[in-house]
Amino acid sequence: MADMKKLYIKTYGCQMNVYDSERMVEALGGQGYEEVDTPDQADMILLNTCHIREKAAEKVYSELGRFKTLKAENPDLKIGVAGCVAQAEGQEIIRRQPLVDLVVGPQSYHRLAEMEEIIRKGKRALDTDFPEEDKFEKLKARPKAKRGPTAFLTVQEGCDKFCAFCVVPYTRGAEVSRPVSQVLTEARDLVERGVREITLLGQNVNAYHGEGDGGAWSLAQLIWALNDVDGLERIRFTTSHPNDMTDDLIAAHGECEKLMPYLHLPVQSGSDKILKRMNRSHTAESYLRLIERFREARPDILISGDFIVGFPEETEADFNDTMSLIEEVKYGQAYSFKYSTRPGTPAAERALVDDQEATERLYRLQALIAQQQKDIQDAMVGQNVKVLFEKPGREPGQMVGKSAHLHAVHVTADGIELGDIKEIRIVESRRNSLAGTVI
């Protein structure tokens, strides 16, 4: 529509930020904005930032600096910073970067419409509170626009674990679960709009304890309720913490038809000494035992994880414990990072491991994971798998989808529509994907 104002939103970081950006687009839709793909013609630019990687705030400041010419050309252009850097830096962003009109933390997105009105009057607006009211309830604008076949749905937010390296408890705040009825309503609405697979999101998603019939529901209870939603075909969830794992969630992987055979369970380290210093409150052994129980419930489950190498005081022996744990688990996929300091976290005070040493360990770990990933992918060749098609591929006539195990699968064939679930014979294992043919 020609008279709509244009919103350019750039999303960094995790899937929860992707979800949040969608909610912000909806909230600003009510203020007459439509989303555009480039900042050039925008009336508002929003950076939805992530604070988890190194020098996150510095990167945001340099990104903001690049909008200077755009703002010079269009004095009505409004620039906002959202997400975890907004939460962590708050007032500092307003002080340091005069280009910025608006700073909004993750717990205040439901106030975005009001804040937009303030900045349109030429004032600046900052909100990084942790308010009492339910932002999800206030955010549910629910436009009926059609959606792609997969969607994220935030069910739990925040973290009370305080791992010694992590900023999340400070930027996302304390753990909160959304009520069951709210989640189910949003899920049904997504399905009506064409969604066939929902990934439930939370920083500690398996700590979910939302209000439902008869009291707080576990994540497994929620998944079972979603299993009954007609038209929804696949359920996933991420990210879990080993200490919040419940028997009913493990069992659901063996029994719940729509729950996919995939588990992202970060361990961070395989050394009990380092785990203790990370304040993880689980051991390598307790983690391995959990994985074993998941495999008893669902033998083909694909395991994914997160690792930090070079955490303060990590010795070669500690690192080798991590490598042994990886050997034992056999990961289908994993994210690994070299430890880096986050100001304000407990580990920030501690002496760093030699950087070259840490880099070298990271390479060794990534090589091992890559080999395991390849072995698991290669074993898929010759198998028939069900693929949910999500988008067109790069080659003409090619479609890309995901298997139940979350492998990307490329297929070139006529008659495949977005949102189709088809039985595919895997014929080739590539670097980060599989190729198949329709059976």
Residues making contact with ligand SF4 (CB under 6 A): 159, 161-163, 166, 168-169, 203-204, 241
Which residues sit opposite 125 in a β-bridge? 102
Tokens coding 13: 């970081």
CB of 143 to ligand SF4, least distance (A): 31
| Nearest CB to ligand SF4, comparing residues 234 and 241 | 241
Which of ligand 5AD, ligand SF4, none is residue 311 near (CB under 5 to 8 Å by kind)?
none
Cα angle 345-350-351, degrees, rounded to a multiple of 5: 140
Q: Does 136 contact ligand 5AD by CB under 6 A?
A: no
Residue 105 contacts residue 126 (beta carbons within 8 Å): no
Residue 202 contacts residue 264 (beta carbons within 8 Å): no
| Nearest CB to ligand SF4, comparing residues 130 and 162 | 162
Q: Does 268 contact ligand 5AD by CB under 6 A?
A: yes
Which residues sit opposite 35 in a β-bridge? 7
Segment interacting with ligand 5AD (CB under 6 A) among 68-76, 212-220, 283-291, 338-346: 338-346
Nearest to 130 by CA among 93, 105, 156, 161: 105
Using CB under 6 A as the binding criterion, the count of chain residues that bind ligand 5AD stands at 11
Tokens coding 231: 């038209």
CB of 162 to ligand SF4, least distance (A): 6
Q: Does 208 contact ligand 5AD by CB under 6 A?
A: no
Which of ligand SF4, ligand 5AD, none is residue 162 near (CB under 5 to 8 Å by kind)?
ligand SF4
Selected binder of ligand 5AD within 101, 339, 407, 410 (CB under 6 A): 339
* CA distances, 405 to each of 116, 191, 331, 402 (Å): 42, 21, 12, 8
Interacting residues with ligand 5AD between 148 and 177 (CB under 6 A): 165-166
365: helix, strand or coil: helix
Which of ligand 5AD, ligand SF4, none is residue 337 near (CB under 5 to 8 Å by kind)?
ligand 5AD
CA dihedral angle for residue 307, residue 310, residue 315, residue 319, rounded to 10 degrees: 20
Give the position of tokens 């990271």: 362
| Nearest CB to ligand SF4, comparing residues 148 and 169 | 169
Backbone phi and psi for residue 385, each to the nearest 5 degrees, phi listed first? -130, 155
Mask for 289-308, x = binds ligand 5AD (CB under 6 A): -----------------x-x
Q: Does 78 contact ligand 5AD by CB under 6 A?
A: no
CB of 51 to ligand SF4, least distance (A): 11
DSSP β-ladder status, 398-403 and 434-438: unpaired
The DSSP annotation for 344-398 comes to TSGGGGSPPPPHHHHHHHHHHHHHHHHHHHHHHHHTTTT-EEEEEEEEE-SSTTE
Selected binder of ligand 5AD within 134, 337, 406, 420 (CB under 6 A): 337
CB of 158 to ligand 5AD, least distance (A): 14
| Nearest CB to ligand SF4, comparing residues 50 and 159 | 159
| Nearest CB to ligand SF4, comparing residues 27 and 274 | 274
Which residues sit opposite 79 in a β-bridge? 45
| Bond preceding residue 345 cis, omega within 30 of 0 | no
Query: What whole-number distance in Å separates Cα of residue 371 and Cα of residue 368?
Result: 5
Which of ligand SF4, ligand 5AD, none is residue 241 near (CB under 5 to 8 Å by kind)?
ligand SF4
Query: What whole-number distance in Å separates Cα of residue 269 and Cα of residue 308?
Result: 6
Q: Does 272 contact ligand 5AD by CB under 6 A?
A: no
Cβ neighbours, 10 Å, residue 69: 9
Segment interacting with ligand 5AD (CB under 6 A) among 25-33, 250-258, 335-343, 391-399: 335-343
Mask for 351-380, x = binds ligand 5AD (CB under 6 A): ------------------------------
Which of ligand SF4, ligand 5AD, none is residue 308 near (CB under 5 to 8 Å by kind)?
ligand 5AD
Residue 388 contacts residue 335 (beta carbons within 8 Å): no
Which residues sit opposite 304 in a β-bridge? 264, 333
The DSSP annotation for 292-339 comes to HHHHHH-TTPEEEEEEEES-TT--HHHHHHHHHHHHHH--SEEEEEE-
Q: Does 109 contact ligand 5AD by CB under 6 A?
A: no
Q: Does 52 contact ligand 5AD by CB under 6 A?
A: yes
- Chain residues binding ligand 5AD by CB under 6 A are 52, 165-166, 266, 268, 306, 308, 337, 339-340, 342
